[in-house]
Amino acid sequence: MKIQRILSRIDSGLGATKLPPSVAAVTLTLSQRTRASGARHFWRDHLRRVQFANPLLPIVVNFPREPCSPNLEIKFADDSVKSFSAEGMHSDDICKRFLKDAGA
């Protein structure tokens, strides 16, 4: 019963979207020394759903020790890169912007 409840939470929601094959990789950078709660909640809640829906997509999360603003970078198959700062954004807004930029 508990497994079904966990799988239903991962399989539904805002981040549970199949991304187009043009998306090659995703990199999220979060500093260990800043309080970027929106980006941390995006990582914990939405990015795991994205990984579950797209198991072959490489997702990297960097935790540098020096303070920096949270940044999300999307790499495409044609070597183009879209990135945006997630500083001061809510986790749902970060996920909506990510899905829009990724073309989902």
Nearest one of 57, 58, 51, 87 to 72, comparing CA atoms? 87
Q: Could you give the number of structural domains in the chain?
A: 1
pTM for this prediction:
0.80
Rounded CA-CA distance 75/69 in Å is 19
Q: Which structural domain, as residue segments, surrounds residue 75?
A: 2-102
* Whether 57 contacts 18, CB under 8 Å: no
Residue 34: which CATH number? Answer: 3.40.30.10
**Residue 60's pLDDT is what?**
92
Query: Which one-letter amino acid corresponds to residue 22?
Result: S
> Band of the pLDDT at 13, cuts 50, 70, 90?
low
* Whether 91 contacts 47, CB under 8 Å: no
* Mean pLDDT value across the chain: 84
Place of tokens 């990199």: 27
**Residue 1's pLDDT is what?**
63
Rounded CA-CA distance 67/3 in Å is 37
